[in-house]
Amino acid sequence: MDLIALTEYLVKSIVVDEDAVSVKEFDSEDDKTMLIQVMVADEDMGRVIGKSGRSANAIRTLVQAASALQDNKYVKINIDKF
C-alpha cells in the first residue's frame, strides 16, 4: 500500500470533515527520509493529535511500520490545520 494513501485513510477515519483532509509528500534532503504533510480542518485538529499526542503517534507508528515492509525509509509526518 502507498504510504500517502495509508496516511490519508488513517486520518480520514478519525476526522469529522473528511473533505478538508489533504495529504501530500514533500521532497527531503535525504533519500532515506520521506516527509508527509497532513492538513486538517481547525475543528478536527484535536481529534487527529489526540490526548497527549497518542493518535498522532499511532498514525506515525503505523505508517513507519508499513514503510519498513516496503522501502525502509524513515517517515516524518507533520500535522497542521488550514
Average pLDDT over residues 48-56: 94
**Helix, strand or coil for residue 22?**
strand
Q: Does the pLDDT at position 5 exceed 80?
A: yes
The domain tally of the chain equals 1
Model-wide pTM > 0.85: yes
Q: Does the pLDDT at position 22 exceed 80?
A: yes
**What is the residue range of 37's domain?**
3-81
CATH label of the domain that carries residue 33? 3.30.300.20
Q: Which of 9, 79, 4, 5 is nearest to 46 (CA)?
A: 79
Number of helices (H) and strands (E), helices first, in the chain? 3, 3
pLDDT bracket for residue 73 (50, 70, 90): confident
